[in-house]
Amino acid sequence: MTKSSLLLIYTGGTIGMKHDAEEQTLKPFDFRQILEEVPELLKFALKVDTYTFDPLIDSSDIEAKHWIELAQLLKEKYDQYDGFIILHGTDTMAYTASALSFMLDGLSKPVILTGSQLPIGVARTDGKENLISSVEIASAKDNDGHPLVPEVCIYFDSLLMRGNRCIKVNADIFAAFQSPNFPPLAKAGINIKYYEEYIRKPLDWYQSLSINTKLDTRVGILKIHPGITKEAVKYFLEISHHRAIILETYGAGNAPMKEWFIQLIKEANMSGKILLNVTQCLAGKVDMNIYANGKALSKCGVINGYDSTTESALAKLFYLMGKTEDNEWVKTMLIRNLKGEISK
């Protein structure tokens, strides 16, 4: 039997840092020496190759061009490996995971993003557990030899979660990510327990991977808040660069009913902009039929984002708008569940 093989892609971020005694700073280490840092990986009967981004990026600098680079790399290496692990800074990991979920079509292998709150070269690091469990999950197969988790996921602090459902919720503790609107796909304890009923499986295990690398990034996010002014809303909605605007609304999708606000939303819709309603709550969904305030938005042509995270909504818009200039088509696709990103 041939050994399973994984590709470990290091993009940057805290996980790949090591203490440099000479300079007394944290510096990225050479990932080709990953086995020296994490010798535990030798215990798996696996071939692990590494690929390092050049230059490495703090994930706060992530842009669509990096997602394209990742998608192209995955496409290029797809047939050579059984699974992929992307080591990524935590700050924008949920955005990258969401984007990849839409950019990769026909995925039948695991793509697991992970990182850490403490560098891997620090004694109390969470990076080793995150990496080692990700390796185990990315190489896990069922009785037919198919990968157990052929999805874009985030693994963090013992939870495997669907990538486009994740949010970074904590800047301090090890449990940095949550998937508030969808159950975890697996939990690592003494054993790794997989929740098969929640894992998406491909229709055809042998299809080839295709990638969508045309992204249209002309999206703005407007967070509604008490005291928001007419001037601010007007300015933001009228920025001509924006083809779509995500409205981060209250609760079940509510916003002020003030006449000026509704009028501005109406005008933005009439001018052809795509307006998508996503809740600023951590969990739950938009339902614009519950309150008059929500209904008013719906009447103005605002599209329901259901229980999408903002991260996923942004990535989905980039992806859909990259496919066409036809905003009406984009709107019809926004309300469809494409990659398990909304509960519908």
Binding mask 81-110 for ligand ASP (x = CB under 6 A): --------xxx-------------------
Place of tokens 């969508």: 212
Name, in order, each residue with C-beta under 8 angstroms of 32's C-beta and a sequence gap of 6 or more. Answer: 50, 52
Query: In the window 12-41, what residues touch ligand ASP (CB under 6 A)?
Result: 12-14
The nearer residue to ligand ASP, 14 or 254, going by C-beta atoms, is 14
39-55 per-residue burial string, b: 16 or more CB within 10 A, e: under 16: eebeeeebebebbbbee
Site for ligand ASP, residues 207 to 266, rule: CB under 6 A? none
63 scored as a contact of ligand ASP (CB under 6 A): no
Cβ neighbors of 272 (< 8 A, separation 6 or more) are: 327
- Nearer Cβ to ligand ASP (170/217): 170
- Note if 217 is an active site residue: no
Q: Which of 2, 11, 14, 25 is catalytic?
A: 14
Q: Which of 60, 207, 210, 263 binds ligand ASP (CB under 6 A)?
A: 60
Distance (Å, whole) CA 309 – CA 164: 8
The yes or no reply on residue 115 touching ligand ASP (CB under 6 A) is yes
Residue 343 · residue 307 · CB < 8 Å: yes
Region of 6-14, 63-71, 184-192, 216-224 interacting with ligand ASP (CB under 6 A): 6-14
Query: Which is closer to ligand ASP, CB of 90 or CB of 179?
Result: 90
CA dist 97 and 113 (Å) reads 7
Q: Which of residues 9, 28, 52, 59 is near ligand ASP by CB under 6 A?
A: 59
The catalytic site residues sit at 14
Footprint on this chain of ligand ASP (rule: CB under 6 A)? 12-14, 58-60, 89-91, 115
